[in-house]
């Protein structure tokens, strides 16, 4: 498969490059990783938003995310551009930033939507994940603004507003204005970052955020060293338990996420190596998976059960349905969406649902909190 990025830095990775400049070169020789379920879901949603795939390719949850993204985009268009037909609309285009000294390509980026009406321009980036992104601090958005400016989508006297739409995060719509000076600074900063990460010897700075989407983490000595250091700490003995500070615990929790990501990537790479060569890893092999059967045709099963005299009440007690499945069925059968769908679900499930609270979760307090890094190690 050809690489549309031509092996050069891409705007989507700029947030990682800013945290870990050495990660770009680290990834060049890194083994490929299978995309996660969340990444594949985001790709499907983006394809529908771009008009290159139909809504029938999406699950019920993905359709909800799609509808929310469209509603938020319409809100942004109305607030920034006002009402009326746009003059120009661009979707899902990859743009290139040349090096002003050599004129050779420096980096690229693909925006989701740019709309012009008069002298006002709106640039939007969709995020279907659950990690909050602050528009004012987003290196990816900064790079997309620089690319739009360099490629003539924005004129010097235009009013540009750039925004991030993230349906699963609050606030779900964040907009920031980019004046001419801001756009110039964005071009300079992103060019400098692209040049820097392509140089040899740039430092690798492992952290939860920097390593999360980095393909090199299974083989990165810097990431392995951080996890090994955290594992070597002996702070939970009976004598020391009371003196563990909140700052130390914050650092350790960050390393837990980094370690979990690293472990998952290492195991994934090991499976791929053993698939290719069963003797690739001394002392390790793959045990065959467990075969599990899943009933796909409940209706057909009911016909067989009914013919054998099994009562409907007994059959339904043995069946289970999730709220997610019920919602998808109701949407498809009745054609309902949004509030109408929610009201119908409340009536459908009245007296038939038991509510349980899950265990408490550890979450980072505040999207703008700095992620503790290696310098904060105890």
Query: How many C-beta atoms lie closer than 10 Å to residue 257's C-beta?
Result: 17
For residue 110, give the nearest of 80, 148, 81, 149 by alpha carbon: 148
Burial of 352 (0-12, 13-18, 19+ CB in 10 A): exposed
pLDDT per position as a tens digit, 84-103: 899 999 998 999 999 988 88
Q: With b meaning 16 or more CB within 10 Å and e meaning fewer, what string describes 299-333? A: eeeeeebeeeeeeeeeeeeeeeeeeeebbbebbee
Q: CA-to-CA distance for 33 and 85, rounded, in angstroms?
A: 43
β-pairing verdict for 159-165 and 173-178: antiparallel
pLDDT per position as a tens digit, 145-159: 999 999 999 999 999
Q: Which residue do the tokens 């307090």 mark?
A: 365
| 11-198 placed in CATH 3.30.460.10 | no
Residue 108 pLDDT: 96
Domain ranges of the chain: 11-198, 208-285
DSSP-derived 3-state class of residue 178:
strand
Residue 238 pLDDT: 56
User: In the chain, pLDDT over 70 holds for what percent of residues?
Assistant: 92
Q: CA-to-CA distance for 347 and 331, rounded, in angstroms?
A: 14
- DSSP labels for 22-62? THHHHHHTSPP-PPPHHHHHHHHHHHHHTTSS-GGGS-HHH
């Amino acid at each position: 498969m050809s690489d549309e990025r031509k092996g050069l830095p891409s705007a989507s990775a700029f947030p990682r490059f800013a945290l870990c400049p050495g990660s770009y070169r680290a990834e060049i020789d890194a083994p490929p990783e299978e995309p996660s379920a969340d990444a594949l879901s985001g790709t499907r949603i983006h394809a529908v938003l771009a008009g290159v795939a139909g809504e029938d390719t999406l699950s019920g949850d993905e359709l909800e995310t799609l509808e929310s993204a469209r509603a938020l985009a319409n809100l942004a268009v109305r607030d920034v551009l006002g009402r009326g037909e746009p003059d120009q609309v661009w979707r899902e285009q990859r743009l290139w930033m040349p090096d002003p000294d050599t004129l050779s390509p420096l980096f690229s980026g693909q925006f989701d939507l740019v709309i012009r009406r008069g002298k006002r321009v709106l640039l939007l980036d969709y995020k279907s994940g659950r990690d909050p992104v602050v528009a004012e601090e987003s290196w990816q958005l900064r790079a997309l603004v620089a690319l739009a400016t360099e490629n003539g989508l924005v004129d010097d006297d235009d009013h540009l507003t750039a925004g991030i739409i993230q349906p699963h995060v609050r606030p779900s719509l964040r907009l920031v204005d980019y004046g001419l000076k801001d756009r110039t600074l964005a071009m300079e900063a992103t060019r400098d970052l692209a040049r820097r990460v392509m140089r040899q010897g740039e430092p690798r700075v492992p952290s939860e955020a920097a390593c999360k989407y980095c393909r090199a983490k299974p083989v990165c000595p810097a990431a392995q060293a951080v996890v090994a250091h955290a594992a070597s700490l002996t702070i939970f003995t009976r004598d020391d338990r009371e003196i563990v500070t909140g700052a130390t615990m914050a650092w350790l929790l960050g390393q837990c996420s980094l370690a979990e990501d690293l472990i998952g990537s290492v195991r994934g790479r090991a499976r791929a190596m053993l698939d290719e060569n069963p003797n690739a890893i001394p002392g390790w092999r793959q045990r065959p998976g467990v075969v599990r059967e899943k009933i796909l045709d409940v209706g057909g099963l009911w016909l067989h059960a009914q013919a054998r005299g099994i009562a409907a009440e007994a059959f339904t007690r043995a069946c289970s349905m999730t709220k997610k499945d019920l919602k998808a069925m109701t949407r498809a059968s009745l054609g309902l969406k949004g509030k109408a769908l929610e009201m119908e679900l409340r009536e459908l499930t009245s007296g038939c649902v038991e509510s349980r609270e899950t265990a408490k979760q550890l979450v980072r307090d505040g999207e703008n909190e700095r992620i503790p890094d290696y310098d904060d190690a105890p």
